[in-house]
A and B are shown apart, each in its own frame.
Chain A
Amino acid sequence: MSEKIGVYVCHCGTNIAGTVDVKGVAEWAAEHLKHRGVVIGRDYKFMCSSLGQELVENDIKELGLTRVIVAACSPHLHEKTFRTACERAGLNPYLCEMVSIREQVSWVHTDKVAATEKSKAAISGGVERVIHNEPLEPIQVPIHADTLVVGGGIAGIQAALEIADAGYHVCLVEREPSIGGHMAQFDKTFPTLDCAACILTPKMVEVGAHPNITLLTWSEVEKVDGFVGNFKATIRKKASYVNTDSCTGCGICWEKCPKKVVDDVFEAGMGIRKAIYRPFAQAVPKYPVMDVENCTYFKNSKCKACQLFCPTEPNSINFEQKDEILEVQAGNIILATGYDLFDATRIPQYGYGKLPNVFTSLEFERMCNAAGPTEGKIVLRDMKTAPKSVVVVHCVGSRDENYNKYCSSICCMQSLKFAHLVMERTGAEVYNCYIDIRTPSKDYEEFYKRVLEEGGHFIRGKVAEITDAARIPEEEGKLIVQVEDTLIGKQRRIPVDMVILSAGLEPRHDAKEVGKLFGIACGASGWYTERHPKLDPVATMTDGVYIAGCVQGPKDIPASVVQGAAAAARVLGKIQQGVISLEPIRASINKDQCSGCRICNGLCPFNAIAYIEDDNVSDINPALCQGCGTCVAACPAGAISGTGFSNEQIIAQIDGLLLRNLEPAGV
């Protein structure tokens, strides 16, 4: 055995020494694992103290240790400490392993003998493992200074502006014809009742005009190759059939377009647009797009009214335009693709879609908006009658075992806002049916108080049913909301003119597929999983891919803005570093042994494994590989090996833990 291994057993005061015979364990290792290369076994009060670290450093220098085992707390706490100490003494840090005998032994066991024996086994396993450790170097990756931001809602806008203002180039990709996202559809924002458009549109304009931002609307990311520092995104810019070089956005084309279409997206089905359209007046960019599904020309080769009336020279309407495929290089990616609104038709007892005067929150937002289908008038579905009484139903699809278990976070405040707007604009009686009122942010509780003082009624109870089946004459012609008022313990039937369903937020219907594209995961509720829920909320498990806004979970506008800015800060930090180093825990394929069976190809969620047809082998991109080791375990030919967690290391550790390494006499 040519290795010289040092074993250090920490007392951690009495944390370990109280349950484990640390001195005995250190002596045992020195004696019984001598034949495995252990040349020194020491115990020390606090290994993580500077004196403890020096102990290791001195032994490396004086005894020429080639491997180090520190039996102490969890490696999650001090692995870095001891690896750095080894590095200071000239030993490759990856030749040091920690063995946890505190969290996994002394703190969880009471029997001193058993705890001591388990510590010995753990150290024996560690020694066998570390023999097979290889010296490793962190992987250095240069960072491309451009950033790809996907999603042009408020979070994406904020992120793009922060980065662009810092002097770096951003490519902002948006699926719809305009940026602005959900926020552009709202009328007022809680709790200050700022006009959403007033605060959002200046930012949209700034994005459109920013010299550091390339704006790709009506575009979607189709493919992402590469890895942190060096992504290559393939983007489909859908044909808009409008030549943006000559178009001035004058609006004559959609004025003249004879085809009216119900706008399901921006107007939430409440309004009409044309087949060639710009979703709203302040849209950025200002150019319209052609909806080929509905365009008369595309349907039966007749019409061309838009082209006929287009006043620009040359004519801006181009029916021959094709989708463009663009490639964008980026060092980092921020995903801010937002949310879908919960589909209220999934709760049939609430009658949405059948009872005309049951509205969703988004429909109501459009109704309130001065630029919306009713020019801001709150009216029933007949578009003229103002309601005299309204119920706002909270938690629609949220906090519900049958739909989404989570709280959608914005609905309480949104519902309070609705109540306020109804009362302000119509003087109607408003009933809020809620499970709990949650107003945890600044000035939110005050807004709740204000709505109470304005005369809003609050009923604590989950609405059971909304029906038009009257039981008494007063209910005739009304919507009857059946709810248990749990504060007074009574069933109530509230006859009203209008019901607003405060629908919850849901992950985008295609969140999973989009996540796969970018190599990130959805949690149990379907929102993208952050690297750490508290300490790293905008990073993901894929280096270089960040999330901001509602993709990470339901949140309101201020929180989305904060995340957009936070993601931008993280990206700027990466760009500033220029080069980043990655943990060298990676898989690699021995091409001689690889049979090209392609079984590993389907296993990597990070798209790190590519099949090279010409050589009939698969290959792993080390910068994309995250080091999970799944392909290593899966390769039927045993052709894939993993640094840091190799087969040899783990098999040796198994044998060590089972004390198969002891000489018969030593048992």
Chain B
Amino acid sequence: MSEQFEPTIIGFTCNWCSYRAADLAGTSRMKYAPNVRLIRMMCSGRLDPTFVLRALSSGADGVMITGCHPGECHYIEQNYKALRRFLLLRRVLAGLGIEPERVKLVWASAAEGARFASETTAFVEEIRKLGPLNWGKTDDRQQTMDDVESSVVNRPSSEMEVPA
């Protein structure tokens, strides 16, 4: 059996639209990839960038943020606030070498079970292509200094001289 990389993804849903979209996908028996683990919040506006950073640093390979469509937020306009944070967060993540595609924002209304399912599956495939993030695990590498040294020393490997 070939070992396929199975990403672990944390999904944030809003109580009113996207969580209900996930419910609808369920009641409609739509099938989608099992890699996303959902957290229900009242609103996508509740999304603190800390949650995304925590998920990525704790071992998630990607984060999916979902909410009501613009203009349809149950709290009037809070999904726009999620959008603004999301766009700035992605820029900050890019500066930390994390592909912006690892964090995705999806709008799905309570009626869009099919959209929820297809977007989830598409996202899982995207992350699968990007490969594991392994952030949590890299912490352990702090202790291994030998490869650091070799990295320093082996750079422009050819003409290294030792000072006499």
Q: In the complex, A touching B, CB below 8 Å?
A: yes
A interface residues, Cβ below 8 angstroms from B = 74-76, 100, 102-105, 107-111, 114-115, 117-118, 121-122, 125, 515-516, 519-524, 529, 541, 585, 603, 605-606, 626-630, 632-634, 642, 644-645, 647, 650-651, 653-655, 657-658, 660
- A541 interface neighbour in B38, B47, B55, B76, Cβ under 8 Å: B76
Which residues 95-140 of B have a CB within 8 angstroms of A? 117, 136
CA distance A392 to B74 in the complex (A): 39
19 residue pairs of the A-B complex, CB under 8 angstroms, read: A75-B40, A103-B27, A107-B27, A108-B26, A110-B31, A115-B34, A122-B37, A122-B38, A519-B76, A521-B74, A628-B42, A630-B81, A633-B49, A650-B41, A651-B51, A654-B60, A655-B54, A657-B37, A658-B58
Which residue, of A118, A516, A633, A655, has the highest number of chain B Cβ atoms within 10 A? A633
- A658 B55 Cβ-Cβ under 8 A: yes
Centre residue among B45, B69, B117 by max chain A CB count within 10 A: B45
Question: In the complex, which residues of chain B have a beta carbon less than 8 angstroms from the beta carbon of A626?
Answer: 75
Whether A541 contacts B75 by the Cβ 8 Å rule is yes
Residues in chain B near residue A645, CB distance under 8 A: 41-42, 46
Of all chain B residues, the one with the shortest Cβ separation from A75 is: B40
The 9 closest A-B pairs by CB, nearest first: A103-B26, A629-B46, A630-B45, A521-B76, A605-B76, A628-B43, A628-B75, A633-B48, A107-B26
Contacts of A76 in B (CB 8 A): 19-20, 23
Which A residues are CB-close (under 8 A) to B40? 75
Cα-based distance from A102 to B23 in the complex (angstroms): 9
* Among A516, A605, A660, residue most surrounded by chain B Cβ atoms (within 10 Å): A605
**Chain B 1-28 near chain A by CB (<8 Å), digits 1 or 0:** 0000010101000000001101101110
In the complex formed, the residue of A with least CB distance to B81 is A630
Q: State the CA gap A651–B53 with chains docked (Å).
A: 10
Contacts of B38 in A (CB 8 A): 100, 104, 122
Q: Are A108 and B32 in contact (CB under 8 A)?
A: yes
Instruction: Specify which chain A residues have a CB less than 8 angstroms from the CB of B34 in the assembled complex.
Output: 105, 108-109, 111, 114-115, 117-118
Range for the number of chain B residues in contact with chain A: 35 or more
Whether the pair B75, A523 counts as a contact (CB closer than 8 A) is no
Write out the residue numbers on chain A whose beta carbons fall within 8 Å of the beta carbon of B45. Answer: 603, 628-630, 633
Residue of B nearest to A659 (CB): B59
**A residues within 8 A CB of B26?**
74, 100, 102-104, 107-108
A103 vs B69: C-alpha distance when bound (angstroms): 22
* Additional pairs, 10, CB under 8 Å, beyond known A519-B76, A524-B72: A76-B20, A100-B38, A108-B25, A125-B37, A521-B76, A628-B42, A630-B75, A633-B48, A644-B42, A660-B58
- Compute how far the CA of A524 lies from the CA of B30 in the bound complex, rounded to whole angstroms: 27
With a 10 A CB-CB cut-off, give which of A102, A122, A605, A650 has the most chain B CB atoms: A650
Please report the C-alpha to C-alpha distance between residue A117 and residue B36 in the assembled complex, in whole angstroms.
Answer: 12
Asked if B64 lies at the interface with its beta carbon under 8 angstroms from chain A, I say no
CB within 8 A of A650: which of B6, B39, B72, B85? Answer: B39
Over the window 61-80 of chain B, the binary record of Cβ atoms lying under 8 Å from chain A Cβ atoms (1 yes, 0 no) is 00000000101111111100
The complex places the Cα of A318 from the Cα of B10 at a distance, in Å, of: 69
Q: Indicate if B141 sits at the interface (CB-CB under 8 A).
A: no
Complex: chain A residue closest to B85, CB-CB? A633
Complex Cα gap A606–B49 (Å): 23
Contact between chains at B46 and A630 (CB < 8 Å): yes
The distance in angstroms between the C-alpha atoms of A647 and B53, with both chains bound, is 13
> Within 8 Å CB of A523, what residues of B?
71-72
Q: A74-B23, A108-B31, A115-B34 are in contact. Are A541 and B74 (CB under 8 A)?
A: yes
Tell whether B142 is near chain A: CB-to-CB under 8 Å: no
A653 & B39 in contact (Cβ 8 Å cutoff): yes
**Nearest CB in chain B to that of A101: its residue:** B26
Which residues from chain B contact A650 at a C-beta distance below 8 Å? 39, 41, 48, 51
Q: Decide: B55 and A654 in contact? CB cutoff 8 A.
A: yes
B81 proximity list for chain A (CB < 8 A): 603, 630, 634
